[in-house]
């Protein structure tokens, strides 16, 4: 019997979920919900065999549905996820997980209670690029870590339900959480708002241990789209340019040491070896997200990115909000 | 009679000064000072007609020298500039101007007293690119300003006499000072040091009026060299990529407005017109610096970049130092 | 009543046709044919409502089908298109149109006889980029034309049914046919084959009138994917880089004139003005192809890219084959 | 006693020769000749210690001069080089060597007769990039060679004394001569002229053994400057982009094989491994040219790039001229 999965929310991400669900063996995308009629009509046009509804409860209370993917606005994640869990559905919920760590904690507890699968869709963690970086870090190839520096800017898309930090920086926070054992200890943020009353650009600084610093620059007000992450260590450094269609990652055998034979004078030694552009897995990340979700459903196992991972990111987002309120003060992440 | 100019300090920048001085009509580069013998020998090899010395006082006390260019380590700027002014020399001094605003103020006063020409070599302000941006801002083409965002990173060169902020961010501070009428009001900075005990990477945030924010990212620990400035306004936005050999500036006719006819709903309108890459003057900036200095000497007029401009930058550098000491606290620039 | 369209051939391009047909109002994609079972199963999985078959005659003889899109290997275009026309179907056929000009001519005649719509899918002619270039040429902005220079290279995909010229250069030949009133007069080609016994790389030179030359470099053996066209005239020049996701076209206000005031000496004057990156329509070209095909079906009008356009390209391909056989001799295009 | 070297010809390249000669130990740049007064004045301004003259014979007959660097227009290379050899000077002459193979042969013979050093300045052969490529080819890393493909285009600089082929393609012909044991056997060329009556753009095809083809595209009429060479073999392929300031060479572990286990069906296997950007020597090539010339003078040894190397390139240039006259016919290189 195929696993029957429904998708709730059919804005930007929902149709991608449906398309990927369609491609997995043993899965049936059966039901889609959105509050906008035209969105449902588009689905109906492309997939006449899929049922549609405006009422998500019709899906959640349907005993034939095994699992739901929730791609609705952030403010509704808690309510819909909770209802789904209470009705014994397994859940894949979009990032960010919830509006608050309190909500996240309640959903984690409910998941355990109901013995359900709960996965948060931190899509980037399923890209070939991020996993190649993780592999290099885990093997110690970068040496002692210096910094993580992300630039994630473009023009729009302004959203009425969230700000640029919860929208874009969430990606980087989830990547930082995934890559580094040294979790960030404090955060500070500066931002500004010019058009819609919500933060449209921000600079976020996270301090980890031993001088390791992460910085995230997000903006909806950049004329160009940039997706660039630098990760530096004392042995190697990585440039991850996600705009590049194929050659996304460059590994630099570069660094600086002070000449140990010159203890009285200041003699930096610059190391500049070859650069390697490793082959990376080009599979669409969402395809892997959905496959992993289905595998967890079948095998009743904990997803790699579970509620706890979602909660850790929400906690940092809350600390950022606090720092902004206090004009950029450094906030300890609890 | 040609103007006789000497160069004190022959490390990285000194030879460039000499080469450019050589090319100006009515100028004679006559004398060079450095404390390292090999540097003097190199000069002697390339320009056998130029006199060399290890003692800068030999230059400064020489009545035949009209003016000096000072390209020595920062810590010596004050002493040498002061000695030169006291000996009635006109002075072009490298950036940053001085170690402290107190020193800068004393030199400004001495300049006036001695009726001398004092110019600070903020070289970038003489590039075709920066002047094109200034022209666009002055004509109001960018509209209300949103942000200035600079990334100036590369591997090295570590210096024992200064940190990455005084070394690299000085360029951006001078550009900000030059471009914008809205001077920065506060500054905060986060930095880290891994190798040499001095700050090797930093994120600096400057707040101007009305939500206009400048951000500067400088680093000596990046595997790649990046020189990128974004300036955004509500009408147009500029990308200035100084790594590009020719097409350095892109002007984007892009922006976002909220639909005024949709006052109850949130309807952003994205504007995305043509992009223009304007022709810019490609003359070597230092050539123009030196020409302007010579012109000021001849006409006894105040340089565009005088001691006051140098002082304004030093004041922000001092505020950054203070912010770092206080763990990133926002400091008012006095 | 919706127009009922079938797709014959479900390799690389067929699924794209289906996806785009699904999105057009008043059209029903009802039937798909392929000889491979797995391809049909994939369609069935994504679109359970679409009928599938391995026998294209089942489609062509079905009186309910109004039109067919033929995306089968080149060698079968003639047979299937002919059968479709004889059964009163309108036809959209993939490029290149046919194996020979004789076949193309027969299909053109049959189309007229049966009063059918026949369109050749020269997809590039429906891109925003190519149409922007056409607009500039038609307005005379480039002045007298100097050259068209295309580089279309990548690794693979080797095909057993055709060579790199019929596969890739067809795109450029269709673009040249579309852009320029001055049709090519002669063609010569050099090529080589290393792996599969068919031409895998080629350099093709087309001579138009008055020294205007087109050159096409195609290869399946390049380590990098390049898609670059330069078009030069005496007033302006265009760089069209199709790898760029957004900024595909740059218009250069550049040129060279000999100084008319210096008739005795050789004094070239170089003109180097601004560069403009125009906003171009980003709609998927195939979407417009399919829409235009449907519009022609509805209004019974001749498609922009009809059999004659397909034939003109096939004639040049035949001349290229002849030039290759004769070791690169210049062949007149009849 | 230092070696005394004079430079004849002070247009674009001459000053670079002088600057590099100045930097070599044991060498004295003593004398410079040009027919234009302003050029001599510029030299005098930068290097007051260097003697200047308008009469090259004054240099060539001066018994104190050991060697001359000839950077005059091509048409004068033969006459001046001959005079220099007859007066027992060692000679470094700019590329292309001479106007004809007859001239080249005469100079080679005279060099041997007079026991002189004669070096042709094929500057590119002293770049780190070209030598890295040579190293890879010599080690067999590319496997069986498929193609060499060069694009060397920009706007201008039109020259009255030569065409774009003798000006720009000479670089590629010298690189091909240096890199490959398989010398080109035939050449064909297509070109056009729009402004100055001399060829301003050309496509040149060289056939080597076993299907190995070189193609060179040169133009003075391109709006953008491109300097790109692709070298492909069955094991590895190289992209050499000389516009890149640092990362000039990319080595692709890419290729295609037909599946040997599938002899009845056509099954290409695509190989796409890591890409390596090797560290290359960044020393200015002309510095190495001059150093090598001086070393040959001192040690009385044959230069790497001697008259024979210059002659081989001139022979191909002559064959290209012939092909152009015969409308692109394939000419055997003798």
**DSSP per-residue string spanning C229-250:** EEEEESS-EEEEETTSSS--EE
Collect all residues from C whose CB is shorter than 8 A from any CB in A.
Answer: 22-23, 45-49, 225, 243, 245-246
Which of B272, B273, B279 has the CB atom closest to C274's CB atom?
A: B279
| pLDDT tens, position by position, D133-143 | 999 999 999 99
The predicted pLDDT at position D261 comes to: 79
Q: How far apart are CA B269 and CA B262, in angstroms?
A: 11
Q: Do residues D118 and D108 lie in contact, with contact meaning Cβ atoms separated by under 8 Å?
A: yes
From the list D146, D217, D221, which residue is nearest C146 (CB)? D221
Reading the block at residue B160, the tokens are 């024992």
How many Cβ pairs closer than 8 A exist between chain A and D? 24
Place of tokens 């001239």: D103
Contact C22 A46 (CB under 8 A): yes
For chain B, what is the mean pLDDT?
95
Question: Looking at residues D192-202, what average pLDDT do you find?
Answer: 92
CATH number attached to the domain at C3-124+285-302: 3.40.50.720
Tell me, what's the pLDDT at A262? 75
Mean pLDDT score of chain D = 95
Whether residue C277 and residue B279 make contact (CB cut-off 8 A), yes or no, is no
Contact yes or no for D272 and C195 at CB 8 A = no
Q: Which CATH class is domain B3-122+285-304?
A: alpha beta
Location of structure tokens 């996240």: A104
Identify all chain C residues contacting B273, using CB atoms and an 8 Å cutoff.
Answer: 279
ipTM for the predicted complex: 0.94
Residue D113 CB contacts under 8 Å (≥ 6 apart), including other chains: none
pLDDT of residue D262: 75
Whether residue C264 has pLDDT greater than 80: no
pLDDT of C267 over the 80 cut = yes
pLDDT tens digits for range C93-150: 999 999 999 999 999 999 999 999 999 999 999 999 999 999 999 999 999 999 999 9
Q: What is the predicted pLDDT for the residue at C49?
A: 87
pLDDT at C89: 98
> Residue D174: in which H helix or E strand, if any?
helix D170-179
Quick one: pLDDT at residue C125? 98
> Average pLDDT for residues D37-65, to the nearest whole number?
94
Using a CB-CB cut-off of 8 Å, the residues of chain D touching C147 are 192, 201, 219, 221
The pLDDT assigned to C196 comes to 85
Task: Name the residue facing A278 among D250, D274, D279 (closest C-beta).
Answer: D274
Closest CA to D227 of D236, D214, D237, D239: D239
Please tell me the predicted confidence (pLDDT) of residue A136: 98
Cβ neighbors of A39 (< 8 A, separation 6 or more) are A10, A11, A14
d(CA B195, CA B189): 19
Domain A3-123+285-305: CATH superfamily, name plus number? NAD(P)-binding Rossmann-like Domain (3.40.50.720)
pLDDT in 10s for each residue of chain A, 334 residues: 899 999 999 999 999 999 999 889 899 999 999 999 999 999 988 888 899 999 999 999 999 999 999 999 999 999 999 999 999 999 999 999 999 999 999 999 999 999 999 999 999 999 999 999 999 999 999 999 999 999 999 998 888 889 999 999 999 999 999 999 999 999 999 999 999 889 999 999 999 998 999 999 999 999 999 999 999 999 999 999 999 999 999 999 998 988 877 767 778 889 889 999 999 999 999 999 999 999 999 999 999 999 999 999 999 999 999 999 998 999 999 8
pLDDT band at B21 (very low <50, low <70, confident <90, very high): very high
State the Cα–Cα distance between residues C305 and B230, nearest whole angstrom: 44
* B3-122+285-304 and B125-282+316-332 agree in CATH topology: no
**Residues in A touching D279 (Cβ below 8 Å):** 272-274
Please report, rounded to a whole number, the percentage of residues in chain D having pLDDT higher than 90: 86
Taking an 8 Å cut-off on Cβ atoms, the answer to whether A268 and B196 are in contact is: yes
The confidence score (pLDDT) of residue C23 equals 86
Domain C125-283+316-332 has CATH 3.30.360.10: yes
CB contacts, 8 Å: C255 with chain B = none
Give the integer Cα–Cα distance in Å for D48 and C299. 82
Instruction: Give the mutation candidate from B253, B275, B276, B278 for the C interface (greatest C CB count, under 10 A).
Output: B275
- Chain D positions touching A274 (Cβ under 8 A) are 276-279
Beta carbons of D196 and C255 less than 8 angstroms apart:
no
The CATH homologous superfamily to which domain D3-121+285-295 belongs is NAD(P)-binding Rossmann-like Domain (3.40.50.720)
Give chain A positions within 8 Å (CB) of C45: 22-23
What residues form DSSP beta bridges with B255? Answer: B271
Of B51-60, B264-273, D116-125, D145-154, where does mean pLDDT reach its minimum?
A: B264-273
Q: Which CATH class is domain A125-282+316-332?
A: alpha beta
CB-defined contacts C:D, below 8 A: 146
CB-closest option in B272, B273, B278 to C274: B278
Over residues C169-183, the pLDDT tens digits come to 999 999 999 999 999
How does pLDDT run across B58-113, given as a tens digit for each residue?
999 999 999 999 999 999 999 999 999 999 999 999 999 999 999 999 999 999 99
Phi, psi values for residue C69, rounded to 5°: -105, 125
Cα–Cα distance between C245 and C305 in angstroms, integer? 26
DSSP β-ladder status, B237-241 and B249-258: antiparallel
Query: Residue range B175-199: average pLDDT?
Result: 94
Torsion over CA: D286, D288, D289, D290 (sign): positive
**pLDDT in the model for residue D157:** 87
Domain boundaries, chain A: 3-123+285-305, 125-282+316-332
Output the pLDDT for position C45.
85
Rounded-to-integer distance, Cα C174 and Cα C184, Å: 12
Measure A145 CA to nearest chain C CA, in Å: 33
Residue of A nearest to D272 (CA): A279
CB contact under 8 A, D155 and C256: yes
* Interface contact B155-A203, CB threshold 8 A: no
Cβ contacts of B23 on chain D, cutoff 8 Å:
45-46
Dump pLDDT digits (tens) for B320-333. 999 999 989 999 99
Over range D119-124, report the average pLDDT. Answer: 98
For residue B2, what is the DSSP state? P
Q: Is the pLDDT of residue D160 over 90?
A: no
Minimal C-alpha gap between D287 and chain B (Å)? 14
* C271-296 residue pLDDT tens: 889 999 999 999 999 999 999 999 99
Q: Which pLDDT value is given to residue A327?
A: 87
pLDDT at D17: 97
pLDDT per position as a tens digit, C193-206? 999 889 999 999 99
Inter-chain residue contact B279 with C279, CB threshold 8 Å? no
- Helices marked H in chain A: 14-22, 37-46, 56-60, 77-86, 101-113, 128-138, 164, 170-179, 285-299, 307-325
Q: Which of B272, B273, B277 sits opposite C274 (nearest CB)?
A: B277
Going by the DSSP 8-state scheme, the letter that residue D168 receives in this structure is I
DSSP calls for B244-311: SSS--EEEEEEEEEE-TT-SSS--EEEEEEEEEE-----S-HHHHHHHHHHHHHHHT---SS-HHHHH
What pLDDT score was predicted for residue D27? 94
Host H or E run for residue A274: strand A268-277
Q: What is the pLDDT of residue D325?
A: 93
d(CA D23, CA A45): 75
- The string of DSSP letters for A78-128 reads HHHHHHHHHTT-EEEEESS--SSHHHHHHHHHHHHHTT--EEEE-GGGGSH
* B-D contacts (CB, under 8 Å): 22
- Please give the pLDDT value at position B94: 97
């Amino acid at each position: 019997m195929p696993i029957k999965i429904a998708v709730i929310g059919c804005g930007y991400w929902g149709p991608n979920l449906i398309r990927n669900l369609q491609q997995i063996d043993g899965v049936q995308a059966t039901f889609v919900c959105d509050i906008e009629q035209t969105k449902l009509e588009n689905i109906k046009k492309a997939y006449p065999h899929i049922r549609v509804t405006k009422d998500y409860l019709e899906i959640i209370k349907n005993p034939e549905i095994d699992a739901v993917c929730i791609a609705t606005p952030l403010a509704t994640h808690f309510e819909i996820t909770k209802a789904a869990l209470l009705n014994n559905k397994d859940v894949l919920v979009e990032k960010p997980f919830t509006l608050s760590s309190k909500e996240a904690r309640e959903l984690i507890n409910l998941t355990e209670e109901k013995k359900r699968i709960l996965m948060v869709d931190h899509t980037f963690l399923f890209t070939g690029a991020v996993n190649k970086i993780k592999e290099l870090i885990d093997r110690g190839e970068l040496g002692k870590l210096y910094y993580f520096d992300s630039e994630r800017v473009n023009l729009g898309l302004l959203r009425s339900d969230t700000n640029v930090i919860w929208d874009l920086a969430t990606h980087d926070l989830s990547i930082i959480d995934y890559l580094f054992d040294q979790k960030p200890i404090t955060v500070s943020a500066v931002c500004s708002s010019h058009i819609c009353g919500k933060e449209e650009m921000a600079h976020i600084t996270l301090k980890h241990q031993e001088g390791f610093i992460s910085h995230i620059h997000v903006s909806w007000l950049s004329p160009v789209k940039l997706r660039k992450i630098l990760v530096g260590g004392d042995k190697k450094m990585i440039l991850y340019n996600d705009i590049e269609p194929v050659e996304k990652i460059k590994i630099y055998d570069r660094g600086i040491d002070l000449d140990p034979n010159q203890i009285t004078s200041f003699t930096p030694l610059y190391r500049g070896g070859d650069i390697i552009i490793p082959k990376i897995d080009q599979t669409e990340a969402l395809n892997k997200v959905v496959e992993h979700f289905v595998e967890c459903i079948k095998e009743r196992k904990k997803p790699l990115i579970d509620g706890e991972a979602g909660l850790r990111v929400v906690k940092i987002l809350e600390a950022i909000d606090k720092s902004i309120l206090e004009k950029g003060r450094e906030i300890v992440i609890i």
